[in-house]
Copies of this chain bind each other. A is one copy, B any other.
Amino acid sequence: MKQSLTPNFITKDFPKDEESYNARILVRAGFVQKVMAGAYAYLPLGLLVLRRIEGIIRKHMDKLGREIIMPQLHPKDSWETTGRWDSLDVLFKVISNDKKEYALGPTHEEIVVPIAQKAIFSYRDLPMALYQIQTKFRDEPRAKSGLLRGREFIMKDLYSFHTDQDDLKAYYQRVKEVYHDMFKEMGLDTKLVAASGGTFSKFSHEFQVLTETGEDTIVICPSCGFAQNKEINDAKEGDICPECGKKIEIKKASEVGNIFELNRKYSDPFNLTYKDNNGVEQPVYMGCYGVGVSRLMGVVAELFHDNKGLIWPASIAPFDVHLLELFGSDEKENKEVTKQAEKVYNALQENNISVLFDDRRESSPGEKFSEADLVGIPVRLVVSKKTGDKAEYKRRGEEKASLMSVEEIIKMITTS
């Protein structure tokens, strides 16, 4: 993507109306723009990151179920069936011109159960699992954490349906493993943390990433891995781990996923049953499993940066390479630079390496360098009058730069 042909949303200063680091840096580096508190637009760079996060999630979820898309506008009666129309205080409500009421979906149990019901008749139809990657809404009283807590946000939500609790428990264990691998692929080391179930279930598990700015506090044992959210365990730093007897630690963390054994909480109100192999109607057991898609972009920004800007993990970076073309005052030399930069740009793309190409004439080398650090693409290449028929290769976050041929660069990127 040539920057000369792309709107430039990078700003000189940090936004004044943002408190959280993730929003400050993502707005400044041109990934998102705040439309109002808790609602962001994803600009070209931000959308590319979202798409890569979604791609990794989809790859892993396809091992667990089938993708669908459910509506965001929900009928009131489904939410009354479960009693959450009145009890869920973050539920946004909509009234139409003809005075009908709807909910804006913050989660989809009320929608997915009647959908699944049309394909569940006998034990042969189970287990079944459906997931979606979709925009959700919460009437958040405070929306000051940037992408970490929005009024509108993107989530992946998976729902599973089972003949009995044992089958649900086995599936729940499998989701834990898949989630761990999925987050690892995004460069995240997640801790499995026991927590309360909120309005969903008695207990749940959260996938937490340790971050100094995290909004959660967790009680964690570095020896045996025991971990609970502070909301269900009031331990203090240095207390004894109930599992192994060693000392526990208290840490700040950010949640990126959560999983719930719903059991019959949502299947019973909708009378979701199946015929067992004796022809007797039995209740269906359910689980639900969330991932904060847009939230992940915020968490990664909180985790991976330095004082110059973002440092994206390669797997979810908006581009593989940021190619900078540096111009001087000699137009003849500039022509040679352009020729070599275009050559590098084309060679990389032919090798399926995605490139953000800073070919802008009006920007100085200093501006290009500092913008590249701000945007945080993993590999920076520089072509200038000094680099001749090669290019200067540098990894974001490292100091060492080396002059390399295009072939060496392609080999370096495709094998790393």
Contacts and interface: CB of A to CB of B under 8 A. Distances in A.
A104 to B, nearest CB: 7
Contacts of A116: 7
Given A7-B125, A50-B69, A71-B41, A33 B139 contact: no
Interface stretch (A86-94, A170-178, A264-272, A365-373): A86-94
Contacts of A41: 68-71, 111, 115
A250 interface: no
Contacts of A137: 73
A151 interface: yes
Contact of A89 (B35, B89, B97, B111): B97
A139 B362 contact: no
Interface in A126-152: 128, 130, 135, 137, 139, 141, 151-152
Nearest to A120: B7
Contacts of A306: none
Contacts of A72: 72, 135, 152
A68 B44 contact: yes
A93 B92 CA distance: 11
B6 A66 contact: yes
B111 A75 contact: no
A118 interface: yes
Interface in A44-59: 44, 46-47, 50
A161 to B, nearest CB: 9
A44 B73 contact: no
A97 B139 CA distance: 7
Stoichiometry (number of copies): 2
A71 B141 contact: no
**Interface size band for A:** 35 or more
A53 to B, nearest CB: 13
A93 B97 CA distance: 9
A219 to B, nearest CB: 32
A13 B171 CA distance: 33
B92 A94 contact: yes
A8 interface: yes
A284 to B, nearest CB: 13
> Chain A at the B interface: mostly helix, strand, loop or mixed?
mixed
Point out which of A42, A47, A71, A118 has the most chain B C-beta atoms below 10 A from its C-beta.
A71
Contact of A71 (B11, B40, B71): B40
A43 B71 contact: no
Contacts of A44: 66-68
A76 to B, nearest CB: 9
Contacts of A6: 66
A9 B73 contact: no
Given A33-B115, A73-B152, A66 B97 contact: no
B111 A104 contact: no
Contacts of A42: 68-69
B39 A119 contact: no
A7 B119 contact: yes
A307 interface: no
B152 A71 contact: yes
Given A93-B94, A93-B95, A141-B97, A36 B130 contact: no
A96 interface: yes
A130 B7 contact: yes
A205 interface: no
A199 to B, nearest CB: 16
A124 interface: yes
17 contacts: A7-B119, A9-B118, A11-B118, A33-B118, A35-B70, A35-B115, A39-B73, A41-B68, A41-B70, A41-B71, A47-B69, A73-B152, A94-B94, A95-B95, A96-B139, A97-B139, A97-B141
Given A7-B116, A7-B128, A93-B95, 7 more contacts: A7-B125, A33-B115, A35-B74, A35-B115, A36-B74, A47-B69, A92-B96
